[in-house]
Copies of this chain bind each other. A is one copy, B any other.
């Protein structure tokens, strides 16, 4: 079902809005210089919403500066201490994320709700497989979904509906199944992520499967890829996922074959150079780099243009499935570059028409 729209600063989560990309700073929140720089790098990388852990009054103070300077909404991540959450709402954070498994009593939640109502601060109920409340089995998608929904019900009891939900697990299957359950049960937007997913290689695969398969089924409103790596890598991985499932089309996709015995030139190197060449293009364009005629112009006829090995040191350039020129290996890159520039200009003009 379509989810309700939740306003987080100048951004909207849900309501059919564009899927936003989130990440989290890992510098000490009290270190204003380092954290300011990291927020800046994340924004430049395309991060839409940035979360910070807030653990003390001193960190709340530092956050006032980040809120004043940041062009994108900031989210306070609070564990244990609801009073910090109240302060974060009061100083103008775009959203507050609590982990119901450790936020404590209903009394604290009630105080938080009344601050968030007054300040129009949404709350993310963020349940994690490993830190469910007592009495709920930490294994299993159903338990994870139940925990999230139970906490939503508690906020609803206090008349609060400005809610985003996340149900994360380091187990991809549990994360996927939990979100499928929650998505059926309520209309609060879902923040997707696989938690503790590991380093950039394992974590990217786990996150791609977990987040990607839900997005393919229309589930998910904002995403965060968690990696034990520079947070900027999380933003890149998130963007790759959105592109792979067709939810971000304004870029130049480079499709390329894995090569086989039939390939007659150094395709991997051409792919590398073409990717560099097109990295700044922000209109929908598809370039194919193919090893041979078998997988060449025909196989790639959905591409706007491309190159295919043609045998005997030659290659063919094609545009929309038609061969337009035969070139030598050395001419591949300059000729393809001209073709890409002209097509990308056409698309830009189309778009502004």
Interface, chain A (partner B; CB < 8 A): 24-30, 35, 52-55, 59, 77, 79-80, 102, 128-131, 138-139, 170-173, 176, 195-199, 201-202, 204-206, 208-209, 212-213, 216, 226-229, 231, 234, 237, 240-241, 243-246, 253-263, 267-268, 271-272, 275, 288-290, 294-295, 298-302
Once A129-B302, A271-B198, A271-B199 are accepted as A-B contacts, the answer to whether A228 and B289 lie under 8 Å apart by CB is: yes
- Cβ-defined contact, B302 with A205, below 8 A: no
Pairs A-B, 5 closest by C-beta atoms: A213-B213, A209-B212, A130-B299, A208-B208, A29-B261
For A24, the chain B residues whose CB sits under 8 A away are 258, 260
- Cβ-defined contact, B130 with A300, below 8 A: yes
- Cβ-defined contact, B228 with A196, below 8 A: no
A217 nearest CB neighbor, chain B only: B213
For A54, the chain B residues whose CB sits under 8 A away are 261
> What are 26 pairs between A and B in contact, CB < 8 Å?
A24-B260, A26-B258, A26-B263, A27-B261, A28-B261, A35-B261, A54-B261, A59-B261, A131-B295, A131-B299, A139-B302, A170-B255, A196-B257, A196-B295, A198-B255, A198-B271, A201-B240, A202-B240, A208-B212, A209-B244, A212-B213, A213-B216, A226-B257, A228-B256, A228-B257, A229-B268
- Cβ-defined contact, A173 with B246, below 8 A: yes
Once A204-B204, A290-B196, A299-B130 are accepted as A-B contacts, the answer to whether A172 and B258 lie under 8 Å apart by CB is: no
- Cβ-defined contact, A231 with B209, below 8 A: no
- Cβ-defined contact, B205 with A244, below 8 A: yes
Once A212-B208, A216-B209, A301-B130 are accepted as A-B contacts, the answer to whether A199 and B295 lie under 8 Å apart by CB is: no
A28 nearest CB neighbor, chain B only: B261
